[in-house]
Amino acid sequence: MSLDYENDGALHEKIIEDVLSAYPDKFAKRRRKHLSVAKGVDDADAPAEGEEKLLTECDVKSNIKSIPGVMTIRGCAYAGSKGVVWGPVKDMVHISHGPVGCGQYSWSQRRNYYIGTTGIDTFVTMQFTSDFQEKDIVFGGDKKLEKVITEIDALFPLNHGVSIQSECPIGLIGDDIEAVARKKKKEIGKTIVPVRCEGFRGVSQSLGHHIANDAIRDWVFAAQEGEIEFETTPYDVNVIGDYNIGGDAWASRILLEEMGLRIVGNWSGDATLAEIERAPKAKLNLIHCYRSMNYICRYMEEKYSIQWMEYNFFGPSQIAASLRSIAKFFGPEIEEKAEAVIAKYQPLVDAVVAKYRPRLEGKSVMLYVGGLRPRHVITAYEDLGMQIAGTGYEFAHNDDYQRTGHYVKDGTLIYDDVTGYELEKFIEKIRPDLVGSGIKEKYPVQKMGIPFRQMHSWDYSGPYHGYDGFAIFARDMDLAINNPVWGLFDPPWKKKPQSEGFLEAAE
Amino acid sequence: MPQSAEHVLDHAPLFREPEYQEMFARKREQFECPASSEAVDAQREYAKSWDYREKNLAREALVVNPAKACQPLGAVFASAGFEKTMSFVHGSQGCVAYYRSHLSRHFKEPSSAVSSSMTEDAAVFGGLNNMIDGLANTYSLYEPKMIAVSTTCMAEVIGDDLHAFIQTAKAKGSVPQDYDVPFAHTPAFVGSHVDGYDSMIKGILEHFWKDKERVAGEGITLIPGFDGFCVGNNRELKRLLDLMGVQYTLLQDASDTYDTPSDGEFRMYSGGTTLEQTADALNAKATVSLQKYCTRKTMDYIAGHGQETVNLHYPLGVRATDELLFKISELTGKEIPEAITMERGRLIDAMADSQSWLHGKKYAIFGDPDVVYGVTRFILETGGEPIHCLATNGNKQWEEDMKALLASSPFGRAGQVWAGKDLWHLRSLLFTEPVDFILGNSYAKYLERDTGTPLIRTAFPIFDRHHHHRFPLMGYQGGLRFLTTLLDKIFDKLDQDTNIPSKTDYSFDLTR
């Protein structure tokens, strides 16, 4: 479904100028490059056959260092590796190697759902740490790490492997975690993966994803001895970059299975090590979160000749388009089944849209998230008649902003690595009907009287992927926007004329 | 197809539907290569045994599910208790994202802090430029009255010198020369968040008290310590002190910071101890720490200025509140008014009304050292029996304090103190020496699930229940709130255990 609207680009340009005026000159110059307004492209530049149509150009600088002292929302490489890529692998123990904090703050916060007996054969919602003390910094932590791995194997013998997620000090004190990994692998005979994801590396979570991908290549694929026995079929695929937040990967898998495909590996939500090891046996890599896992897909293409394809399972328009393009890869039989799946869910889609669109029609949304979501969820909102006024990424690269041009309309405000200050001002001036961002942004925005949904964790709801997820997504956006609390902000004895506009939303 | 527009099923019911259950079974069988069900069952049972407990307690290097966080979290919380103060954490930026998220998830409130965003080049050359640029940006964008600087472990490992860096930044004009930039080194590999709190408070006092001569006055200072219940507790403390007519300063008060109204305005700063009060606290007659283990260095520093110092352990329950009020009365010469005596009597009345349900109940209690002490003390007063008292960040001294406390009551006889142990240790303890209830934080919900021991959320962080921190635990009113929470769980458990029709419901009494 393509919703036809434009944003007020001139207004957005002015808002950018206003916001930049608060910075010291040197930093206003630097931040300016991260802020822009999407510009419509001429119809004359029609896409070549088979290419997606570009709606706009989102020209901003990205993937460079955050400015000190501005309240960036970004995380670190450790968050990208332990928090995103490795953490969800359920039958391995992931050691937060270093001081206690990193593992503590990230413990159980990403809602990577899984099936398993926690603490016995599954370890996702646990916090394993080497809890560095001063002596470990002074004398090095390798001996301690060895002992940690020995103790893990004694107390959690059903683990299928261990990953070592480096925190900042590891790289600074010159520990040799690779040597420890090799030694312990020999001793206990299990996969041990050292990951150099110290938080100071790179400029955001993003380098952590890349390092984590490389660790799969170097310490899982390259370390495999002998051929893995596994009976393949022509319909084997991997789902890459679905972390099963609130069960997303399950709501996706059910559709792919229904159209006749087999998912050999789901990376990495609800995954086991075996699902990673056998992935090179599949015929196609389906990649959802391009940002965090494109690296290993490119490697598998080169090494195992597995093609990869991006898809989008947010909202019925994108789901149908994705199911069709995935099916096309496998030929008429699967295409027919894909059509049957689309047809089967159409009544659900119609009913969801009939129920929620009238309640959400015309409402404006601002997004600020990570990974794929600042673009991928846009059409799901539009399927409900909602409009995107602004969007931005915590840790995107240039190729993400290029892809964003396929989604956003002319005049949309684009912000890269937005600062707390900028985001607050943008929201204050645009006053959207809904903001989708993270926990750090949630409460400031709500206090401004603007409905909010956390779009990292699905605000403890979900799944949002697939048709089952779309119904939940629609319900959640409705309950956020149309809750009566937004109409209670002003005491009757205080008149606040400028706030009337947004309080009407909650009738 | 289970999903419908009329009854939208989210994750909780959706995945129990047969379509999904069958899919999970297929996935497990065909692709997961799991451990066998027999092996899982065997290990699950073994992990409940005394044998496993011995192995578990013998751990020397591995820490699993600890109940502690790192120093800078405490520093960020401490800074949030001062007027218009921005926390500036020097080091890697991801850490700051974590502290802010952690505090927001507990308080359901904004949590503002900035980072100097050091990366690889700063690891090589030091973070001086990050400090210079960072202070300038924070000062212009967020217009704080004070910037309180602490450190992540990255800055500590490379040895950045905050004092020198801040001086240089001032010389370069990042902030005015006379602008307040107190600092504290808060290495994550030493102690825990309670020590970070301590260091930051001390750093702030050092900044304001340096080269000042103390002129002893009449007022007193109270330092609350790292407290997830600061919103309710601090307001209750202030109410009690106002009732007594005491001249006081609550030094570090985040109760308004973490409890701003929803009225259309986002307040990045709200309330907090004023900078003037902070400077004047030098002249207080005495300083009372409500949490000894959150303020060890700070209290030494204050004592060094000639003030009388008093160290308490989270004044919760009857005797601890008595002691607090009595001490304040003694220090200030103000009498404890009748109104407070009446409140005390009402708490005792409530405890007497409910004593039969509380007597002999067994508890595992964990959290920060002073919180565990305070909670244990109150449990003893209710006739409850603390069986396991655990603080991952408790030290030898704490262990001794706890043992003395347990020895002071016949109800403490079976109590064991576990300093430095984590929640995976506690799991073994609960299987081998079970208790009726766990008193702790949200992380223990996994223990509740695995061991079947009901959890009562009395300690930071509480992520999965809302608004508890808005009510006090301290003082007699707080004691009443704590008591009610305890009783609600006790009665809910009893009802759950007696609600099977025609099987157990003869005990499903209407009046209890």
pLDDT in tens, A412-433: 999 999 999 999 999 999 999 9
Q: Give the pLDDT of residue B390.
A: 98
Contact state of B267 with A132 under an 8 Å Cβ cutoff: no
B98 interfacial to chain A (CB closer than 8 Å): yes
Joined together, the tokens standing for residue A290 give: 């391009």
pLDDT band at A51 (very low <50, low <70, confident <90, very high): low
In a domain, A132, yes or no: yes
B10 interfacial to chain A (CB closer than 8 Å): yes
- State the smallest CA–CA distance between residue A449 and chain B in angstroms: 5
What amino acid occupies position B509?
A: D
Say how far apart CA B373 and CA B365 lie, in whole Å. Answer: 9
- State the smallest CA–CA distance between residue B188 and chain A in angstroms: 6
In a domain, A479, yes or no: no
In a domain, A486, yes or no: no
Tell me which residues of chain B, numbers 202 to 261, contact chain A at a CB-CB cutoff of 8 Å. Answer: 260-261
Angle made by CA atoms A94, A98, A104, in degrees to the nearest 5: 65
Same-domain check for residues A152 and A182: yes
CB atoms within 10 A of CB A52: 11
Say how far apart CA A222 and CA B454 lie, in whole Å. Answer: 47
Tell me which residues of chain B, numbers 149 to 188, contact chain A at a CB-CB cutoff of 8 Å. Answer: 152-154, 157-158, 187-188
Q: Which of A186, A221, A256 is the last residue of a domain?
A: A221
B15 interfacial to chain A (CB closer than 8 Å): yes
Contact B505, B266 (CB under 8 A): no
Q: Which of B63, B157, B190, B318 is catalytic?
A: B157
Instruction: Count residue pairs from A and B with Cβ separation < 8 A.
Output: 355
Choose among A158, A199, A345: nearest Cβ to B154: A199
Catalytic positions of A, written as ranges: 76, 79, 110, 209
Same-domain check for residues A82 and A215: yes
Cα torsion angle, B172, B175, B179, B185, sign: negative
Say how far apart CA B257 and CA B81 lie, in whole Å. Answer: 7
Choose among B39, B61, B91: nearest Cβ to A147: B61
CA distances B354 to A70, B221, B357, Å, are 53, 36, 6
Q: Give the pLDDT of residue A48.
A: 63
What is the separation of C-alpha B433 from the centre of its chain, rounded to a whole number of angstroms?
26
SS3 assignment, position A82? helix
Q: Give the pLDDT of residue B371.
A: 98
Same-domain check for residues A92 and A205: yes
Angle made by CA atoms A150, A153, A154, in degrees to the nearest 5: 85
Same-domain check for residues A370 and A282: no
Same-domain check for residues A93 and A152: yes
Say how far apart CA A430 and CA A445 lie, in whole Å. Answer: 12
Q: What is the pLDDT of residues B50-93, one digit of tens each?
A: 999 999 999 999 999 999 999 999 999 999 999 999 999 999 99
Q: Which of A286, A314, A343 is the last residue of a domain?
A: A343
Per CB-CB distance under 8 Å, the chain A contacts of B115 are 66, 68-69, 71-72
In a domain, A465, yes or no: no
In a domain, A400, yes or no: yes
Contact A503, A282 (CB under 8 A): no
Q: Give the pLDDT of residue A505.
A: 43
Same-domain check for residues A90 and A166: yes
Contact state of B111 with A152 under an 8 Å Cβ cutoff: no
Residue B33 annotated as catalytic? no
Return per-residue pLDDT of chain B as tens, 512 residues. Answer: 899 999 999 999 999 999 999 999 999 999 999 999 999 999 999 999 999 999 999 999 999 999 999 999 999 999 999 999 999 999 999 999 999 999 999 999 999 999 999 999 999 999 999 999 999 999 999 999 999 999 999 999 999 999 999 999 999 999 999 999 999 999 999 999 999 999 999 999 999 999 999 999 999 999 999 999 999 999 999 999 999 999 999 999 999 999 999 999 999 999 999 999 999 999 999 999 999 999 999 999 999 999 999 999 999 999 999 999 999 999 999 999 999 999 999 999 999 999 999 999 999 999 999 999 999 999 999 999 999 999 999 999 999 999 999 999 999 999 999 999 999 999 999 999 999 999 999 999 999 999 999 999 999 999 999 999 999 999 999 999 999 999 999 999 999 999 999 999 999 999 99
A87 interfacial to chain B (CB closer than 8 Å): no
In a domain, A384, yes or no: yes
Reference A443, options A455, A434, A452, A433; nearest CA is A452
Angle made by CA atoms B470, B437, B59, in degrees to the nearest 5: 105
Average pLDDT over residues A58-66: 96
Contact state of B60 with A27 under an 8 Å Cβ cutoff: no
Q: Is the pLDDT of residue A2 over 80?
A: no
Residue in chain B nearest A104 by alpha carbon: B69
Contact state of A120 with B69 under an 8 Å Cβ cutoff: no
Same-domain check for residues A333 and A378: no
B42 interfacial to chain A (CB closer than 8 Å): no
Contact state of A172 with B93 under an 8 Å Cβ cutoff: no
Contact state of B190 with A264 under an 8 Å Cβ cutoff: no
Is the model's pTM score more than 0.95?
yes
Residue in chain A nearest B5 by alpha carbon: A352
Residue in chain A nearest B134 by alpha carbon: A69
Contact state of A151 with B59 under an 8 Å Cβ cutoff: yes
For residue A456, the domain's CATH number is: 3.40.50.1980
Average pLDDT over residues A280-306: 98
Same-domain check for residues A35 and A94: no
Q: What is the pLDDT of residues A193-239, one digit of tens each?
A: 999 999 999 999 999 999 999 999 999 999 887 788 899 999 999 99
Q: Give the pLDDT of residue A500.
A: 47
B2 interfacial to chain A (CB closer than 8 Å): yes
Q: Is the pLDDT of residue A502 over 50?
A: no
Reference A398, options A61, A34, A37; nearest CA is A61
Contact state of A101 with B187 under an 8 Å Cβ cutoff: no
Q: Give the pLDDT of residue A497.
A: 58
Domain count, chain A: 3
- State the smallest CA–CA distance between residue B67 and chain A in angstroms: 9
Contact state of B5 with A351 under an 8 Å Cβ cutoff: yes
Give the structural domain span for A98. Answer: 77-221
Same-domain check for residues A337 and A258: yes
Choose among A70, A129, A354: nearest Cβ to B63: A129
Say how far apart CA A477 and CA A496 lie, in whole Å. Answer: 27
Tell me which residues of chain A, numbers 10 to 39, contact chain B at a CB-CB cutoff of 8 Å. Answer: 22-24, 27
Contact A97, A164 (CB under 8 A): yes
Contact A193, A187 (CB under 8 A): no
What amino acid occupies position B376?
A: T
Residue with tokens 């308004």: B256
Q: Give the pLDDT of residue A45.
A: 61
Choose among A132, A171, A250: nearest Cβ to B20: A250
In a domain, A501, yes or no: no
Same-domain check for residues A82 and A211: yes
Same-domain check for residues A82 and A198: yes
Contact state of A348 with B3 under an 8 Å Cβ cutoff: yes
Choose among B24, B69, B118: nearest Cβ to A104: B69
Q: Give the pLDDT of residue A53.
A: 81
Contact state of A120 with B136 under an 8 Å Cβ cutoff: no
Contact B469, B478 (CB under 8 A): no
A102 interfacial to chain B (CB closer than 8 Å): yes
Reference A372, options A343, A350, A403; nearest CA is A403
- State the smallest CA–CA distance between residue A47 and chain B in angstroms: 37
**ipTM strictly over 0.95?**
yes
Contact state of A158 with B35 under an 8 Å Cβ cutoff: yes
Same-domain check for residues A190 and A88: yes
Say how far apart CA A121 and CA A156 lie, in whole Å. Answer: 8
CA distances B457 to B81, B124, B423, Å, are 24, 44, 15
Tell me which residues of chain B, numbers 16 to 35, contact chain A at a CB-CB cutoff of 8 Å. Answer: 19-20, 23-24, 26-28, 30-35
Choose among B5, B112, B118: nearest Cβ to A355: B5
Say how far apart CA A360 and CA B484 lie, in whole Å. Answer: 42
Per CB-CB distance under 8 Å, the chain B contacts of A65 are 117, 119
In a domain, A213, yes or no: yes
